[in-house]
Structure 1
């Protein structure tokens, strides 16, 4: 397990951070069980153990360190075990509803195992583990649980009702909720867990005031009320012009998906560009489309056309990328096949000459990529199904709000 590979000092730093966070539980809850928000848990873990925080991505792991994929979970304990969500299959619910019993359990195993394998291929992880922060009465219990593939050969059905299917394999027990398309896993609290006593502050607000009030001064908070504000400064103050630090790019045709047309992934362009006619093409000739809605709403996000920039992969490797084609509508790498080698061969496991289909993207639960920008560095991660549509709706709403303010 991961914790056994860490120094006592790092573990002490981590537990101290959780004690401090738990002390302020009354800011959010009146329970005697400490409140640890999941993002706070992830941040504390990554800081203490120098792990890569995957908050910007939405994959099976929350952190990566030394070849370990870490799933960080925090939940309230009600005994020596707790059943908690480990996967959602909303996009596949119509298919799953047609199945029952062993057939359903086996299909869930296929989907679950493929998503874990997908994350392993993205981040080159060799080990995986669940890191659990269990919250009990004035107490936190830290322990680890194996992050296993479902062993199809040993699946046994425990109980099937109108609302759920309970099954187990040789290692774990699972519960699938039909209405929510959620897969749950039972986590057992081991005897050797790390226990931390938490002293919950009765009046955390007063403590925060004492920290911030003496000599507190922040120039950014001071506002000259007599100074007229420009329209732009007013927009920024009201957060109607968010700084766009990421965009979502689809790996399919948004128009075909919207209209329910097939094929949703173009067979002769984008990631299947190698299949286009007109001339002999290399099997690695691909590009990611930059739709006009992205170009129009985030015109300064990418560098100018044909200007190379560094694109960092989830596994830490770097690719040389640039915006290409007429209208700056394509994201490509140099060499061009570097994108195909990574995305099509290593991650999606497609053979040369095998078309990418929307069915393949739907199976893994990701149909877009998220490009994040930090100063002059760009990162690429996969984005879940329908994330592109949600992103376009968000930026369109922002543009509409800005326009109305200027009227």
Structure 2
């Protein structure tokens, strides 16, 4: 497990942060069980262990460190186990509604496993683990459990009702809620875990006000510094659509809207290599930048043909630029670098194999999110089905200056 590979100092820093964050629970809840918001849990984990935070991406993992994919969950403990959400299949609900019993369980296994394996390919992970922050009365329990694929060969139906399907495989128990299209997994609480006693502050606002006061002395004691660092984890990065990030479709939005095949153009975009007129390299591809993006985010990308860095999820940095008339295409240099990563490594297409929308639908992702870090540094991440359409709906809100997205 991951924690077994960490130094005692890293673990102490982590538990100290959780203890301090839990102390401020009365800011959000009157319960005697510490409150730790899930994004704060992810921030604390990544800061303590130096992991890459995947908050900007919609993938199976919350963090990546040393080739290990980490799913970070925080929930209130009750008894010896707890059923918690592990996946949501809203975009696939129409397919799932047609199935029952073992057929439904097998299809859920396909969707769940493909999502995990897609993340493994995306981030080049060799291991995976669930990292749990369980909250009990004035106590936090930290433990880890395996992050398994669903074993289709050992699936057994436990119960099926009008509202849910319960099933298990050789390793885990699952519960699928029909109305919410949510898959849940039973997490068993182990006997051995890290226990953190938490003293919940009665008046946390007063403590915050005190910390906000300028210090009379230039020297601040170590305990206060630790507390301030922990409070810093309560803040979340605020990204503004069309300014800090854009969503680009890997298909034709018009064709998708009209349900007109091919939804992914056969001879352009990621299938540009298939265009006629001349002999083309199998790696000749680009991602389209639709006019709605160019018109509403005219200064998001550098000017045409200006090179910038594009960091892909596995940590590698590609050389990229916008090109073509009207700066309507995103390409890499060499051009095949994008094809090697996206088409070969992630989507697992062979050379000269056409990308179809069915392929994108199967993996559950049909667009990419480009996040701007500096004028010359950008990130690219896959985003779930229909995310581009949802993003475009925000144009009017963004123009009114009212919309801000919290990650």
1:396 deviates by 3.1
Which ranges of structure 1 fall in alignment gaps of 5 or more residues? Answer: 217-238, 403-407
Aligned to 2:169: 169
| Distance in 2 separating the partners of 1:310 and 1:398 | 26
1:113 deviates by 0.6
| Distance in 1 separating the partners of 2:14 and 2:351 | 46
| Distance in 1 separating the partners of 2:140 and 2:79 | 13
Aligned to 1:4: 4
Match status 1:344 vs 2:343: yes
1:130 deviates by 0.4
| Distance in 2 separating the partners of 1:350 and 1:245 | 31
CA RMSD of aligned residues (A): 1.5
| Distance in 2 separating the partners of 1:316 and 1:281 | 29
Per the alignment, in what secondary structure is the counterpart of residue 327 of structure 1?
helix
| Distance in 1 separating the partners of 2:322 and 2:396 | 23
Counterparts of 1:227-246 in structure 2, within 5 Å, are 244-246=243-245
Aligned to 2:221: none
| Distance in 2 separating the partners of 1:335 and 1:215 | 54
Match status 1:196 vs 2:214: no
Q: What's the CA shift string for 1:159-208, capped at 9, x where partnerless? A: 11111111111111011111111110000000011111111001101111
Aligned to 1:298: 297
1:301 deviates by 1.1
Counterparts of 1:4-403 in structure 2, within 5 Å, are 4-214=4-214, 244-375=243-374, 376-400=376-400
Aligned to 1:226: none
Task: Give the number of equivalent residue pairs.
Answer: 379
| Distance in 1 separating the partners of 2:140 and 2:62 | 20
Stretch moving more, 63-72 or 264-273: 264-273
| Distance in 1 separating the partners of 2:209 and 2:308 | 45
1:354 deviates by 1.8
Q: What's the CA shift string for 1:51-78, capped at 9, x where partnerless? A: 1111111111111001110000001111
1:243 deviates by 7.7
Which portions of structure 1, spanning 4 or more consecutive aligned residues, are displaced by more than 6 angstroms? none
Per the alignment, in what secondary structure is the counterpart of residue 306 of structure 1?
coil
1:400 deviates by 4.4
| Distance in 2 separating the partners of 1:243 and 1:186 | 39
TM-score by length of 1: 0.90
Which ranges of structure 2 fall in alignment gaps of 5 or more residues? Answer: 217-237, 403-407
| Distance in 2 separating the partners of 1:25 and 1:395 | 36
Q: What's the CA shift string for 1:269-295, capped at 9, x where partnerless? A: 111111112222211111000011111
1:259 deviates by 2.1
